Amino acid sequence: MIRPTIPEDTTAIFAIAEAIGFQPDELEILNEMLADTFNGNSEQLWFTDDDHGPVGVAYCVPERMTTGTWNLLFIAIHPDYQGQGRGTTLIHHVEQTLTARGVRLLLVETSGVPSFERTRRFYRQRGYEQEARIREFYAAGDDKIVYRKALKAVN
């Protein structure tokens, strides 16, 4: 079941982030993003894949100074639940929700290192096209790859 994220999901979201390899500085940023959302400080959307407790999460925000462009900044499924189609269902839910809000373009970025090929393939297989590569963005030898997907208007 995909549902909006609630404050009680925080511990499980951190467990998911740790299980997929988040580092302490990344966990700190995740904490700030969740705090902003639950304090009502920004227009953000969080969704949770709930299977008798959170097993996946997605987070997206509007792109500043644009009309109808959003960024999917975080999507993750706990490793114990990967390979079951949950990521596809979660990203599809994000796309449907944004489309219903009139969003026209969804961007997502990820690392260009070889260990992220599975992630890049996930986006490509769901209709995302590589739009840009920023060399050595995250660190020396770690490019940022930006994917885009045009969302269809609801009739």
Strands 54-62 vs 2-4: parallel, antiparallel or unpaired: unpaired
pLDDT for 153: 67
Distance of CA 42 to the CA centre of its chain: 17
0.85 exceeded by the pTM?
A: yes
pLDDT, tens digit only, all 155 positions of the chain: 999 999 999 999 999 999 998 989 999 999 998 988 888 766 888 999 998 899 999 999 999 999 999 999 999 999 999 999 999 999 999 999 999 999 999 999 999 999 999 999 999 999 999 999 999 999 999 999 999 999 986 55
Strand partners, 2: 49
What are the structure tokens assigned to 85, written together? 């189609």
Q: Which residues pair with 89 in a beta bridge?
A: none
The per-residue pLDDT for 36 is 86
The answer to whether 31 and 24 have CB atoms below 8 angstroms apart is no
Q: Which CATH class is domain 2-150?
A: alpha beta
**Distance separating alpha carbons of residues 129 and 36, to the nearest angstrom:** 30
Domain ranges of the chain: 2-150
Measured in whole angstroms, how far is the alpha carbon of residue 60 from the centre of its chain? 6
